[in-house]
Amino acid sequence: MIATTQPAIALAWLAASILFILSLRGLSSQQTARQGNVWGVIGMALAVAATLATLLLAPRPVAASGSVLGLLGLVIAIGCAVGAVLASRVAMTAMPELVAVLHSFVGLAAVLVGFANYLAPAAGANGELADLSRAVSSSAPGHAVHLGEIYVGVLVGAVTFTGSIVAFLKLRGTIGSRPMLIPGRHALNAVALGLMTVLAVMFVRAEATEGLVPLGAMTAIAGLIGVHLVMAIGGGDMPVVVSLLNSYSGWAASAAGFMLSNDLLIITGALVGSSGAILSYIMCQAMNRSIWNVVFGGFGAEAGAKPSGAAAVTGKITEATVEQVNELLRASHSVIVVPGYGMAVARAQHAVRDLTNELTRRGVKTRYAIHPVAGRLPGHMNVLLAEADVPYDIVHEMEEINGDFSNTDTVLVIGANDIVNPSAQTDSGSPIYGMPVLEAWKAGRVVMLKRGMAAGYAGVDNPLCYEDNTLMLFGDAQATVTRLLTALRS
């Protein structure tokens, strides 16, 4: 494909691809994440410039007409303006749902590109293959391959679009976080897959634009599958779902690249798709989940089963005051902070940083424990702490620090619930059973900062709140931590 374009444009596409690879490499570490973002921005700017140059140099005169270029310029300006406003106004607590919406845009784009490419194949920037597909018989291998690219691209795009919309609504709280397990759902998925296979044969064999009907029917079925798959996933697995949808959006973009004969889009989509799949697999391992369980929406759970069969939690909570927690921290030699989504909601990361800095100044060994799915997005807590300039060397992942809780005097759990829930190890009826958690209950004292006694995002009560060594400190996290800091300094 590259051989059919101008050498300078081919070189620009290659450079953009390398920049995207460097960007992914940079994003793999907190220390190099900023540089990784810079490489990504430069690569995207180069990709857009190369695409516009391809349009200008296209052999079809209409492609370079003033009306087309003016329309493209207007669309790019609107997109940049909307993106700039969203990036400047969105809160960190809303970042997961924003990411889900952006994934839906990629899926919708793949669907629209597929339909447009089928109805007007010669309109693409690289229309050689598309022009050929209209000129040759429908039995030609090249034509069938091109139709297959369109079909797969629309299918993946439709699943990504509707699945991402459901994920957005779940993360926003519009839809409940509990999984919707329909009886016989796996059989329904199998029937849908069979129907889409039949429709694929009908689509490839159709003459001219007669395949529009099976293509539209497949799109509707794929959209329903996207809704069904994500609705069947519980709130505790939503960070993995966001990562998985990121992978889907990458493959949808790659499929669009095949439809348009665009090498850069193929490479970029493959990078996003593969990196998202790898991240999803790593997170599933960290949660002791099967990747198939997440992909197929609770595969292995009993049909019609209630989302939560957790045992009822009984006991008495012990409420503490700021003064009592202050005295506890003063007497501690080691403290571990476990941040969660509640800290993000309260925007308490800067106050927490000041508190841990004061403890460190007093000679207390202070560290942070990060669970892989803390928050609503992979790396959510890491981003918050980096924003507050918390040193990287005191931020530890779960597998690095879990064995140290038994030697820790005090654990501050700030706005976290499911990731420190001991029922994940003890209650086989719990929806989070088997998920590795931070074993905070093994510390000498646990102080849980919460607004109230509401259950976590997975909808499960936490027995840790009723343990003898647990103190509950109720209130807004930012205000409470600020009061703790004032008391500690006085």
Catalytic residues: 418
- Contact between 374 and 340 under an 8 Å Cβ cutoff? The reply is yes
Strands 410-414 and 470-474, bridge-based pairing? unpaired
Which of 453, 463, 470, 441 lies closest to 320, judged by CA?
Answer: 470
Q: Residue 410 carries which DSSP code?
A: E
Question: 339 in the Ramachandran plot: left (φ > 0), alpha (ψ -120 to 50) or beta?
Answer: beta
From residue 248, alpha-carbon distances to 53, 92, 219, 253 in Å are 29, 23, 15, 9
From residue 347, alpha-carbon distances to 369, 404, 454, 457 in Å are 18, 27, 19, 18
CA 208, CA 218: separation in Å to the nearest integer? Answer: 18
Q: Residue 373 carries which DSSP code?
A: T
Which of 372, 107, 341, 343 lies closest to 230, judged by CA?
Answer: 107
CA 197, CA 202: separation in Å to the nearest integer? Answer: 9
CA dihedral 46, 48, 49, 51 (to 10 degrees): 120
Distance of CA 456 to the CA centre of its chain: 19
Residue with the two structure tokens 């609504």: 169
